[in-house]
Amino acid sequence: MGGVLKRLVRIASIAWVAGLLAALIGAARAKRGAPPLPDRAADEVDIRAILEPLDFASTSTAFRGGHLTCWFGGGVLDLSRARMDPAGAQLGVRAVYGGAQIVVPETWDVELQVVGLLGGAGDARATRGRAVGAPRLTIEGIAIVGGIGITSERPDGRPDRNDEFEELVADA
């Protein structure tokens, strides 16, 4: 009986490593076809953090959503300075061995429709009531050994890289 259990554990371990290697190879191939980061003012985004960090801040005046893929990579998607389209926005998110912190204004209503497989999604903001008719951002997708976090502050309160760059240019 013990020999059968050892074989099953060994087979499961080999399958896990093979799956991880296949995912890495797939990520490397997908990275080659990934689009560049969109314009900060774009109302719809297609952002892919594949085998690399993410630090993107939107300044959209009518954010409608888009897609975010974090595959063996991730970081911050900052929507705190974006204004949502009055009809709301929908963001499709895939986090595979990676994750994202999505920073939204405190007044936004966020609905999470994320399926987790050894991963998940959560809203870390205060649960105080949002205004009736508050803009709603619907986030749907999947988190496989990864995660998606919703906050209203950037990590450590630091400004996004774009602000730092603009300050350097202004000082020059």
| Cα 97 from Cα 33, distance rounded (Å) | 19
62: its two tokens: 């009518």
Domain ranges of the chain: 1-33, 38-171
Q: Mean pLDDT over residues 132-155, rounded? A: 88
Please give the Cα distance from 105 to 126 (Å, whole number).
12
- pTM for the predicted model, two decimal places: 0.78
Distance (Å, whole) CA 75 – CA 143: 14
Q: How far apart are CA 134 and CA 86, in angstroms?
A: 9
- The pLDDT of 14-36, averaged and rounded, is 80
The model's confidence at residue 156, banded by pLDDT at 50, 70 and 90, is: low
pLDDT in tens, 27-48: 777 777 777 888 899 999 999 9
Residues 6+ apart with CB under 8 A from 126: 106
